[in-house]
Amino acid sequence: MSGGSVIAAIGNFDGVHRGHRLLIARVASLAGESRLKTGAVVFDPHPRRYFRPNDPPFLITTAALRDQLLREAGVDEVISLKFDAALASQSPVEFVRDTLKGKLGLAGAVVGADFRFGKGREGDAAGLLSICASHGLLARVIEPLADKGHSDKIGSTAIREAILSGAMDRAADMLGRPWSVSGVVVAGNRVGRTLGFPTANLTLGDLIEPRRAVYAVRATLDGRRIDGVANFGRKPTVGSHATLLEVHLFEFSGDIYGREIKVDFIDFIRDEMKFDGLDALKAQIAADCAAARRMLSRSE
């Protein structure tokens, strides 16, 4: 595929967080020294989805956004490997010899220190260095990036935990940008419109579900940035059961059903709760809007 002209970072790259970008910067440095292209080898589907198909959604980014972010980070080629039974059954040596060198024709590989590969996750980063050396491939291992102010390393697992807990500021710090979701606006039950707070509604698909709560958000629609407030949950006051992201955009009017919107989660406001009727709900939404405006004014 690459004819020996690519040095590639290898991993799942879910989120393309600050640690991933450090890895890619190291790849770019090596590639520049050797006059080669930079690459990223990714697995589709995510191995966790392959091995644990009944797990709830857990992805931080869609595959499309992951690939876009990798290219923006400086990757010349995003190389997708189908994660199936054949790939899962390869030994560490077979993965390097038959896939990285034989199928992909890589010149070298760069991985994080916690990288595991091969059948039963038998291979580790040290093993990759040894196997690559014996097959004429360059290889480097990069130590994880520490999360400032926390004992955890920056990684997809820590970011998922932050999203699940509603700690969007911490997730943004590790990602290097706000956590966001994108999608086509779908029709809801229009309760928000009757209350004077119309919403753009999104389903999250395979993305991880955040804490059921109200958030200060910043949306992008047709290139325009619009502040707002969002609720993710099941709307207990009106008896809904399916989870939905409902976004009320400030200073905006118009029909946006069927249009693409991106929503950045900026800060947590409060947990979702059930109110004693629509009047109480309406009053709380007004208070939430005021809180969101204050938070967003501080995040400019």
Top CATH class, 6-142: alpha beta
pLDDT digits (tens, 9 = 90+) for 30-64: 999 989 999 999 999 999 999 999 999 999 999 99
User: By mean pLDDT, which of 6-15, 61-70, 197-206 is the weakest?
Assistant: 197-206
Q: Which fold has domain 179-298?
A: Elongation Factor Tu (Ef-tu); domain 3 (2.40.30)
Domains in the chain: boundaries: 6-142, 179-298
* 131 or 195, greater pLDDT: 131
User: By mean pLDDT, which of 220-229, 259-268, 275-284 is the weakest?
Assistant: 275-284
pLDDT digits (tens, 9 = 90+) for 71-89: 999 999 999 999 999 999 9
Burial code (b: 16+ CB inside 10 Å, e: under 16) for 100-125 equals: bbeebebbbbbbbeebebbeeeebbb
Sign for the CA dihedral angle at 69, 71, 73, 75 comes to positive
E strand or H helix at 70, and its extent? helix 63-72
Task: Return the pLDDT at 284.
Answer: 93
Task: Return the pLDDT at 147.
Answer: 65
**Across residues 199-213, what is the average pLDDT?**
95
The DSSP code for 79 is E
Task: Return the pLDDT at 198.
Answer: 86
Is 283 in contact with 203 (CB distance < 8 Å)?
Answer: no
List phi, psi (to 5°) of 125.
-65, -40
**Across residues 218-239, what is the average pLDDT?**
86
SS3 sequence, 113-149? Answer: CCCCECHHHCECHHHHHHHHHHCCCEEEEECCCECCC
